[in-house]
Amino acid sequence: MDNLGISLVTIIIIAANVIISFKGFDDRGFFEKYKFNVGSIKRGEHVRMLSSGFLHADTTHLLFNMFTLYFFADAVVAGLGNFHFIIIYFGSLIFGNLLSLYFHQNEYWYSAIGASGAVTGILYSAILLQPDMSLYMFFIPIPIPGYVFGIGYLLYSIYGMKNKIGNIGHDAHFGGAVGGYVVTLLLMPSLFKTNLGYVGLLAIPIIILFVLYKTGKLK
């Protein structure tokens, strides 16, 4: 498995996403039953908090999330192991959906799907473990330091939440990133010693979100 450059746990999670997503593509009833929906969750259908993370809108949505997971998963597996990787993945998924539920609690019609929250949590865990990693973007010809990308992405997510940009669950992305950040630090508190500066920098957007919400500027 090491020769393939991808861990078994990553393959299993990608396979689960593919199988469940394609089931949703072909079966609209299944899709509607397991997507994230505020009204349904408030009526007690809590399984949607997990199941929605394995459904996708289309193959492009699915491929984008799985490719992102593929590129960052093994950095987390290498740093923390398979079991902790799973904790971070599902912790980020749940945290992202909890933040969405909180921000949309009075919008009973609000629905969402996708592994983006979980995947973003893995991405941020990888950045926290290897903050000096370089990321390449299609439209930027030079490598971007991981911590710069992390801060920029969270700031963009706040902007997207505030201005309701596109048909994108910015709050789930932000929540997933925070989930990955918090759970990784809980699992590896030594990062406060080895990477304290980066831990502090990556906390800045979280503090900004909290301040904006408390001052009513995000509502």
- Whole-angstrom Cα distance, residue 137 to residue 114? 22
The reported pLDDT for the residue numbered 139 is 62
Structural domain contains residue 219: no
The CA distance from 160 to 157, in Å, is 5
Model pLDDT, residue 218: 64
pLDDT number for residue 137: 62
Specify the pLDDT at position 206.
84
Instruction: Kindly report the CATH number assigned to the domain that includes residue 152.
Output: 1.20.1540.10
Are the CB atoms for 159 and 165 separated by under 8 Å? Answer: yes
17 within 8 A of 25, measured Cβ to Cβ = no
Tens-digit pLDDT profile for residues 143-170 = 888 888 888 878 877 777 677 655 667 7
What pLDDT, on the 0 to 100 scale, is given for residue 169? 72
Predicted pLDDT of residue 22: 96
User: Can you tell me the distance from the alpha carbon of 8 to that of 83, in angstroms, rounded to the nearest whole number?
Assistant: 12
So what's the pLDDT on residue 2?
37
Into how many domains does the chain fold? 1
Does some domain include residue 46?
Answer: yes
Q: What is the pLDDT of residue 50?
A: 95
How much is the pLDDT for 152?
Answer: 83
Going from the C-alpha of 198 to that of each of 9, 43, 126, 182, 185, the distances in angstroms are 28, 41, 12, 13, 12
- Alpha-carbon distance 201 to 150, whole Å? 9
- pTM above 0.75? yes
The per-residue pLDDT for 167 is 60
Q: Distance (Å, rounded) from C-alpha 170 to C-alpha 164?
A: 8
Can you give the pLDDT at residue 138?
Answer: 58
Give the sign of the dihedral formed by CA 25, CA 26, CA 32, CA 36: negative
**Which pLDDT score, from 0 to 100, does residue 168 have?**
65
118 residue type, one letter:
A
Query: Which domain range does residue 63 map to?
Result: 2-214
Stretches in the chain below the pLDDT threshold 70? 1-5, 137-140, 161, 164-168, 217-219
Amino acid 3: pLDDT: 36
Residue 150 falls inside a structural domain: yes
Query: According to the model, what pLDDT value does residue 140 have?
Result: 64
Cα–Cα distance between 145 and 141 in angstroms, integer?
A: 13
Q: Is residue 85 part of a domain?
A: yes
One-letter amino acid for residue 199 of the chain: V
In this structure, is residue 161 part of a structural domain? yes
Contact 202, 147 (CB under 8 A): yes
